[in-house]
Structure 1
């Protein structure tokens, strides 16, 4: 009865279009009333206690850093550098978009923030060059999802907190999968643009032009090295790195580039606060949801059910991927990780999947959820940036989803893609 109240309540509230965080909290409250094992005040208490965590402090700080970088001219300068080196290739602006999203991912940790920051600059330029709206908006939505795969990554922080997995290890493991996805998207863009006859820029490459662009972007380019170098050099923790990223973005925008004025700063901080508030409500309610799951031994039951259905590790991983892809269509990344990671981690462990590898599998699955309707937050952000209806984006997104799924299968069944760097640099077995 408790399990039925928990899951049916969640489904009903989501169908009624109740905000995800509130839906999780209300379904948890319904389960508490039916089970009578916890006090009614438990959900309210969890909203406070679950966010009272040093690692979770990284989330609002990375959100703020991403907003400040987008508003302070950091992303614009990264775009200029990439355009110098890749702009003349067939489909040059499309390739530049992917590269910029990969680079911006290394400083923001957020998929929607990457779409908003990069899309606002590249979409008008690509449309002016003759690229179709359907392709352009689908591309920026998909490339923006790399923002949660290449570290730092807010979903990786949430996974690490939810499962006790090393956040630094997850960050290290995200590099090669993120680069793999980026290269795959570049290959697809080149093929498709060549087929459509979309050529690159006519402006001639010169080392002088390249040098000027790199020099102008020097503060933006060294940002990832400061953040990630500090983490892996033992200078600061991922949470402290988030605060360094936010302060660095503020200094660049206000004092170095001087593009972040007072009114813009207030608006930027307001956007960050709004996103943080929503995220923290989801985190708190999802913690209560997870506690009830544990009390009712639902993770153990699901683990036994999946393991008893097949002895094949390949089939089990395929079932997990299918489940996560479906969940990603209907649930945001944060609650999906908070709810499903404690359930699926024992299943993955039972077939010998390392927790860090499983964390990457889960994050990549849910990154695909950013571009799959009906929830697909990156689709909505991209449509808003381009001033087009959602249907325009969804019509062009299918090839990109196929590319992402092919990469997901490689990441799932070739563990070395995720585990190579943690093993080499962190000594993980």
Structure 2
């Protein structure tokens, strides 16, 4: 255990990327101990990515990239301005609502920060907000990406923990709403404290138009349900509803109805059993292509090729982390390190609420130093046996794990959202870190609520019949 974990930590301190640190420490352990032939390293790494659910990774990444180049981010921003821009601290509220909508398409915090963040930070600075405040609210709202479905971390966790990815997706809806409300309350506090006004004049016409778009989107699944109850097949009902929706969108030229439909299609399709979460990622790509090539006609072959190559690059880095982490996690189990750590934790407490407190502290710490995907693949084999032994629902724990790691994305030394926003806003990492600190309060409050009120996570999956 000392060779495996000690060499891994030493390599991290020397500045090696986390994936290389795990791969090299694993090879060193196998070489020194002679517990397995060297070829086992390659075999276990390949086995780590031979998984059907992992196909969702490149497709969700591609969907997020396509949304960014299809002009969807600008339309989402305009819609959010019409909906909440008239509030005090309006553009900060717009920042949060825009992230909520974009979260239903991209599934990653980094895509949210890099896509909408560029538009949001510039607009807030142009309206007189400090760069630090703009960066802080953008960073906090970006954490919604992997909580509100779809979510790449949920895909990885579902594969590692052998739990329903669809149930994890549904489990993230109510926690995402709670996080959104807490962030909006925080903006209202800063607006009251600093005497900020609105950034967009109140207009019944604009508000009514935005409300109409939301109503149409919400009416879509209701209309499909009624048609199914009336005896139409599911495919026919969805086809008719989509035809009506497209006709309304073409006639009234709504700003964001078709973009808002992305999360409805994904969640609705999985709930109705039309496709699996992995197939939902393909559906997200098809919908993104439809918006960019047909509806908005803002996508060119050049931008499509760029989005594809960006996806290949990102997917390669993610899957390399998964392969390295899979062999590292396997050796943790084989070397009994995971069992030793499990026994040590159980020796401290066997009360599930105390364990959840300790787990939160551990995951928050790990999230500051290790990439999200790698952290999931390392921590799940160690913590999941304890979770199951203490009677904690693995879906509930998946939300806790993911939210902790999202908060870790805002911290140095390895917080990717921190570095993305520092680059976008042209701020130093130190100033960006200070700007983010006040936003840890609503995020930690949300973490406490989600940790100690399991029904916030489990009620919706149970109601929809995808969890016990």
TM tier relative to shorter chain? over 0.9
What is the alpha-carbon distance in structure 2 between the residues aligned to residue 138 and residue 272 of structure 1? 27
Greater CA drift, 199-208 or 46-55: 199-208
Q: 1:363 aligns with which of 399, 402, 406?
A: 402
In the other structure, the counterpart of 1:381 is 420
SS in structure 1 at match of 2:203: coil
In the other structure, the counterpart of 1:137 is 135
In the other structure, the counterpart of 1:298 is 337
Aligned: 1:176 with 2:168:
no
Matches within 5 A, 1:116-131: 116-131=114-129
In the other structure, the counterpart of 1:58 is 56
Aligned: 1:328 with 2:367:
yes
TM-score of the superposed pair, with normalisation by structure 1 = 0.96
Q: 1:47 aligns with which of 35, 42, 45?
A: 45
Matches within 5 A, 1:219-230: 219-230=258-269
- Deviation for aligned residue 1:287: 0.8
TM-score of the superposed pair, with normalisation by structure 2 = 0.88
8 Å CA contact retained: 1:131, 1:198? no
Q: 2:22 aligns with which of 2, 21, 24?
A: 24
- Partner deviation per Cα, 1:136-164 (whole Å, 9 max, x = no partner): 11111111011011111000100011111
8 Å CA contact retained: 2:8, 2:25? yes
Distance 1:166 1:209, change over 3 A: closer
Matches within 5 A, 1:155-304: 155-207=153-205, 210-211=208-209, 214=213, 215-304=254-343
8 Å CA contact retained: 2:82, 2:206? no
- Deviation for aligned residue 1:42: 2.0
What is the alpha-carbon distance in structure 1 between the residues aligned to residue 179 and residue 49 of structure 2? 32
Aligned: 1:391 with 2:430:
yes
- Partner deviation per Cα, 1:232-252 (whole Å, 9 max, x = no partner): 110000110101101211221
- Deviation for aligned residue 1:209: 6.9
Distance 1:221 1:427, change over 3 A: closer
What is the alpha-carbon distance in structure 1 between the residues aligned to residue 199 and residue 384 of structure 2? 48
8 Å CA contact retained: 2:166, 2:466? no
Greater CA drift, 58-67 or 192-201: 192-201
Q: 2:379 aligns with which of 327, 340, 343?
A: 340
- Deviation for aligned residue 1:100: 0.9
In the other structure, the counterpart of 1:419 is 458
What is the alpha-carbon distance in structure 1 between the residues aligned to residue 46 and residue 342 of structure 2? 30
8 Å CA contact retained: 2:350, 2:390? no
Gaps of 5+ in 1: none
In the other structure, the counterpart of 1:319 is 358
What is the alpha-carbon distance in structure 1 between the residues aligned to residue 347 and residue 10 of structure 2? 30
- Deviation for aligned residue 1:71: 1.3
What is the alpha-carbon distance in structure 2 between the residues aligned to residue 300 and residue 293 of structure 1? 8
What is the alpha-carbon distance in structure 2 between the residues aligned to residue 28 and residue 209 of structure 1? 57
SS in structure 2 at match of 1:147: coil
8 Å CA contact retained: 2:49, 2:323? yes
What is the alpha-carbon distance in structure 1 between the residues aligned to residue 70 and residue 39 of structure 2? 43
8 Å CA contact retained: 1:227, 1:241? yes
Gaps of 5+ in 2: 214-253
- Cα RMSD over matched residues? 1.5
- Partner deviation per Cα, 1:291-310 (whole Å, 9 max, x = no partner): 11111222222222111212
In the other structure, the counterpart of 1:36 is 34
Distance 1:210 1:116, change over 3 A: farther
8 Å CA contact retained: 2:83, 2:207? no
Aligned: 1:90 with 2:88:
yes
- Partner deviation per Cα, 1:189-234 (whole Å, 9 max, x = no partner): 1111221222212433133675389412121011111111111110
- Deviation for aligned residue 1:314: 2.3
Distance 1:258 1:209, change over 3 A: farther
SS in structure 2 at match of 1:148: coil
In the other structure, the counterpart of 1:146 is 144
What is the alpha-carbon distance in structure 2 between the residues aligned to residue 41 and residue 107 of structure 1? 40
- Deviation for aligned residue 1:104: 0.8
What is the alpha-carbon distance in structure 2 between the residues aligned to residue 415 and residue 204 of structure 1? 39
Distance 1:135 1:63, change over 3 A: same
Q: 1:349 aligns with which of 371, 379, 388?
A: 388
In the other structure, the counterpart of 1:76 is 74
